[in-house]
Homo-oligomer: A and B are copies of this chain.
Amino acid sequence: MTDYNKILESAGLRPTDAREAVLGALYRIGRPASHGEVAEALKGQLDRVTIYRNLYLLEEARLAHKVQGVDGKWRFCAHDPDVVGCPGDHPHFLCLSCGKMICLLGQTLPHVDVPDGVKVQGKQLVVYGLCPECSRDRQK
């Protein structure tokens, strides 16, 4: 059983109840989760604004990374704080049917050439389609 407060403190964040709950939910879900998914996992335990603000803080503290699916929703994914390097630097898959997102670990984002003068701050590669479950359901 993970001690989320330890993780929060080592990242310089106050270990409040709400914060612990949000981080715990992310870890339990185990894949990038939207605000809504986190709220659902916490069953109305917290105000949705508190969830929003804590997800934002977790990301800023680098305890989570965020990706936007082609459905326009942001998803947050908690990673092991011991991992070296910029986390989230991998492609993601989004199921257009059920909305689940999956980290495609073990693959890096490609280098992209940009025009002179452009300052790159980040990039994201989102692959979308149907997850195994939804793909199977659709065939029936």
Chain A residues engaging chain B, CB cutoff 8 angstroms: 68, 70, 72, 91, 93, 96, 102, 104, 107, 109-110, 112-132, 135-136
Q: Do A125 and B123 form a contact, CB below 8 Å, given A68-B72, A136-B117?
A: yes
Number of chain copies forming the complex:
2
Q: Please state if A93 and B72 are interface contacts (CB–CB under 8 Å).
A: no
Q: Please state if B129 and A117 are interface contacts (CB–CB under 8 Å).
A: no
Q: Please state if B124 and A70 are interface contacts (CB–CB under 8 Å).
A: yes
Q: Please state if B70 and A70 are interface contacts (CB–CB under 8 Å).
A: no
Contact of A129 among B122, B126, B130 (CB under 8 A): B122
Q: Do A123 and B119 form a contact, CB below 8 Å, given A72-B68, A72-B72, A112-B107?
A: no
